[in-house]
Structure 1
Amino acid sequence: MDRFLRLGAYLLHPLLMPTLGTILYFVFTPRYVEMDLMRAKLFAVAIVTLLIPIITFFLLKNLGVINSIHLETTKERKIPLMIQCVLLLLIIKLVFDAYDSPELYYFFVGILFSAIAALLMVILKVKVSLHQIGIAGITMFLIVLSIHFKINVLPWISAFFFFNGWVASSRLHTKSHSYLELIIGFFIGLIPQLIVVNFWL
């Protein structure tokens, strides 16, 4: 059980959520998207939201700015979150268009608002769960996609609610977060996605 709970934090890491959300969109959208364009968009998202943050992590670790990948203190989280906000802005400006891909465009706008909210919490010395923010945001996005495209993805939505519980249990098991930090993280991830729905649903 210990290994199972710890595995949830790695498989559902917040850095993976933007790429996973993009994949889910391309899987479920009824719109025709050229395979080359789909690959290019996925590749761009993976590089900007996954590869660059990993490289940045090793750079910051070598500089002594952060001590571990877990970012255990609010001080360690400040610079990575600032960098994440800039990278998300790049995605919004250069990768997705509000007219051609409104669903993904506003999905990333929602992620940006969540990252800014997490940064504000860090400034206020509150260490919210980034894992919970990520999985809650993508769960809300999936629910809205099912409504928008009028498709039945209830098994997937159920799976993601399970993933929310898995992540929360994992963070509690490792004593990484308190109940309050997980609850705040859940709503920071969910509410921005709910707000931006008004612009594309």
Structure 2
Amino acid sequence: MPLLGVLFYFSKTPRFIPEPISQAKIFSTILLTIILPVLVYYLLKTLNKVDSIYLKSTDERKLPLLINSVIIALVITRVFTQTEIEELYYFFVGILLSTLVCFFLAVFKVKASIHMLAASGFFMFAIALSIHFHININGSIALMMILLGAIATSRLHLKAHTYPELIIGSLTGFIPQLLLLKLWL
């Protein structure tokens, strides 16, 4: 979802951002939010810290969420600083807050859907961009709502989550993005 947010931003922003800069930002996002977490997962699997990629128990989720928080903090400090691209900076601050909330929920044995967390956070960011730049992306927002429903349905169908876990995950992704709007909108 972080990469999706970055791609969405660069495709919708009316600002001029030189092509080499946007490509470097996209490459950095791929490297730090996709490739590095996959490598970290295999390291954790080798060290027997996780059983599977599904992270079924709250205890299994703690270390990956903590490591992900460090990675997102790295993205905030090195890739999307506040002075460069403010919207993406606050998008990643929202991701960091959501990840930390999910970590603290796991510490207290509360399982939240990370799929719904990511999708609802991206959804709120897209709505904020629409408002911020005064652009009509109603079709994209409608598609995102359908995808949110599909993700929730699939998580229930696979018996990966319960209704409360989906709601907690959705709110954990949505609320930090919403609260940060007053800082950049």
Fold match by TM threshold 0.5? yes
CA shift digits 1:19-76 (9 cap, x unpaired): 0000000000000111110010011111111100000101111111101111111111
Q: Indicate the percent of aligned positions where both proteins have the same amino acid.
A: 44
Q: Unaligned stretches of 5+ in structure 2?
A: none
Offset of residue 166 of structure 1: 0.6
Q: Which runs of 5+ in 1 are unaligned?
A: 1-16
Match for residue 85 of structure 1 among 69, 72, 78: 69
Q: Among residues 121, 140, 151, which one is paired with 1:167 in the alignment?
A: 151
RCO greater where, 1 or 2, for CA within 8 Å and sep 6 or more? Answer: 1
Alignment partner of 1:178 is 2:147:
no
CA-atom RMSD in angstroms: 0.5
Q: 48, 53, 78: which one pairs with 1:69?
A: 53
Pairs aligned (count) = 185
Residue number among 109, 112, 116 corresponding to 1:125 in the alignment: 109
Give per-residue Cα distances to partners, 1:153-200, cap 9 Å, x unaligned. Answer: 000000111111011001000000000000010000000000111111
* TM-score, L = length of structure 1: 0.91
Following TM superposition, the consecutive aligned residue runs of length 4 or more in structure 1 with deviations greater than 3 angstroms are none
Matched, 1:135 2:119: yes
User: 1:43 is matched with which residue?
Assistant: 27
The reply on whether 1:155 has 2:134 as its aligned counterpart is no
In structure 2, the partner of 1:105 is 89
Normalised by the length of structure 2, the TM-score is 0.99
Render the CA deviation track for 1:71-103: whole Å, top value 9, x for unaligned.
111111000000000000001101112122110
Q: What letter is aligned with 2:20?
A: D
Q: Which one-letter code corresponds to 1:44 in the other structure?
A: S
- Provide, for residues 118-156 of structure 1, a one-character-per-residue CA deviation record: whole Å limited to 9, x for no partner: 000000001100000000000000000000000000000
Distance in 1, matches of 2:84 and 2:42, equals 35
